[in-house]
A and B are shown apart, each in its own frame.
Chain A
Amino acid sequence: MPHSPSSDPAAPGAPTDPSAALSVEGLGVTVSSGRLTAVRDVSFTVGRGEAVGLVGESGSGKTLICRSVLGLLPPGCAVSEGEITLAGEALTGLSRREWDRVRGTRVGAVFQDPASYLNPSLTVGRQLTEVLRVKLGLDRARADARAVELFAAVGLHDPAEVARRHPHELSGGMLQRVLIAVAVACAPDLLVADEATTALDVVVQAEVLELLARMRAEQDLALLLVSHDLAVIAEVCDRVLVAYAGELVEDGPADRVLNDPLHPYTEALLRVATVGDWERRELEVIPGAPPEVGARLPGCRFADRCAFAAPECLSGPVPLRQTADGRRVRCVRGEELDLSRAGAHGTREVAV
């Protein structure tokens, strides 16, 4: 997927790509009431019908990025810089009322713990029809019929019966399907899934990931899938964004990023990821820990954990630059490193 010039941080103020479902430009997010900058200089687009994965360790800022897109930052956190555009409409600076209109209709969301997003005292059918009646103005009978259709579309067996159940009567996988039905009820342009399958059993996780992929294909839905698990992203996404310490460090097509990473951090994530291999072996870890949120560092934020760090890595902030084949990487050494041989590939060849 080629990038529009606007996603290049070297060209600030360029017009945003009107064909994108989501366009994020130079996003900065502060926490602790503006005292610390937790996310900086984040620019990316999600094309219509495209599935983009956002991956990073805990504390990488991936949840803040996706909460900014949803207008759901927790108290004390705020978008301090940048523009977020959803299918041509600027979202930054919307009032609460305007957000209520956008959220649920133009952008849907699914989170890790479905039970906590549903009202325990209402049937799940009622919670879906409420959305259909408030957002789409359907009458009761049409909303009821549409709810059953949507429950069937997300693969719930006996949808009319499920609609009459309360959340506590359904399993975690079924609740996540209910939430997906709610999220796509108004045919949004974008679905944001933040660790949506992390708490599910492996078998159910695979089913929900397949469902997301199917919804995307059938409804031309753009998908932003956020996960700490590269393996989950590898299953579903066309393109991968890698976040580290509040910045994007790599962006490229999934098969290229997974097989031939450009950033040493991506390579490290691949080394520790699940490869579906059960031989006894020495497991790899990424040494050290990510910097504290808001830490002021002179150069590359990954330098102190990086096996390839050189003096030039610390001389100044590292820009996210575009490579000849349209990928992006935040590394001064970039192509001079042969990561495919040094790490991921090597490990895999040994593993096979």
Chain B
Amino acid sequence: MSGLLELSGLTVAFGRRGARPVLDGVELSVGEGEIVGVIGETGSGKTTLARTAVGLVPPRSGRVVFDGREISGLRGRALRAFRRSGQLSYAFQDPLRALDPELTVRRAVAEPLTVAGDIGDTEIAARVDEALETVGLDAARLGDRLPGAISGGQRQRVLLARAIVTRPRVLIADEPVSALDASNRNRVLRLLDRLRAERGMAVVVISHDLSSLAGIADRVAVLYRGRVVEQGPVREVFGRPLHPYTALLIASAPSVRAEGGPGAAALRPSAEPPGWTAREGCVFAHRCPFVTDACRTAPAPAPVGRGRTAACHRAPEWRELIADPVIAQGAPETGLLKAAP
């Protein structure tokens, strides 16, 4: 598989030698015009993954390849030149902190172009208006306001305008919708989908919240404590998860269609935790109800179908062990672990 953005064997560690890596052997491929979700809980390494991919954090090992060119080895002038090209862009989490409180909306959006330094002022102004219009903001009304004087949903869209003003081929968006209510969330997700359709832009959506991927993602990678535990087409991964962590995640997600039920409870650890330390073996072993002695050796992501991997020694047999028959049967067409009405 050769995508536009390829991460292979990516390992990142901070602090002292021997510390548990924040990312451990991450593989991710993003093709042109594709929307890939990266989902994981707090501390799973999602943001580090994004920062490493755009060259803000140097990996300890592994490679980041963008359009056939390795960028993880770039340093100094070459790295700056690549970043300023704006082909791979990053929309930071938390728009209130990521936007300079003293820059007006227009100047904040213009900044990625002004630092590049090779575009004239009139063209910059035109591109800024175009970017603001693309994200559905009225440049005439909001362009001269400061970030503190606009709503949360508008700030989120300013951040996206700033990320797309360079016309990137890949956009990495870190928690782009988690601070928004449902209607504004759908508005921003629709915008990402439209950018993909109109410009062939690839998007990586990073989130702790499954609803941030609803309706737009093609593929999803599930991150747990620095490892990709499962990866594949959204419909298959969420419809019939093959890693116990993915299953727990889906069963825990609230839904207006939910029947309540024992879904998540059946996937929480019931027995004593394994006898080895949390540093060894499978990253999920200490929270997994299906743990066996084999799990003391960390499982590698193994192919489990077309374009799909799962890092679990017991995939898919663990599904047979669940007391709740609804989960064991799965329901690929509804994409729900909980009983559908």
Contacts and interface: CB of A to CB of B under 8 A. Distances in A.
Determine which residue in B151, B209, B257 has the highest number of CB atoms from chain A within 10 A of its CB, and name it. B257
A272 B186 contact: yes
Contact of B256 (A207, A258, A285): A258
A230 to B, nearest CB: 5
A277 B255 CA distance: 9
Contacts of B217: 278, 280
A253 B264 CA distance: 25
Interface in A199-225: 201-207, 209-210
B256 A270 contact: yes
A231 interface: yes
B234 A278 contact: yes
Interface residues of A, number: 41
Nearest to A171: B42
A273 B152 contact: no
Nearest to A273: B256
A57 interface: yes
A202 B182 contact: no
B116 to A, nearest CB: 33
Contact of A284 (B184, B186, B238): B186
Contact of A280 (B41, B183, B208, B218): B218
B294 to A, nearest CB: 24
B187 interface: yes
B330 interface: no
A348 B340 CA distance: 11
Contacts of B253: 202, 206, 231, 274, 276
B256 A234 contact: yes
A29 interface: no
A51 interface: no
B256 to A, nearest CB: 5
A323 interface: no
A283 B256 contact: no
Contacts of B250: 276
Interface of B: 41-42, 151-152, 181-187, 189-190, 193, 208-211, 213-218, 234-235, 238-239, 248-258, 260, 264-265, 333-336, 338, 340
Ranked nearest first, the 5 interchain pairs of A and B with the lowest CB-CB distance are A276-B255, A206-B252, A231-B254, A283-B186, A201-B41
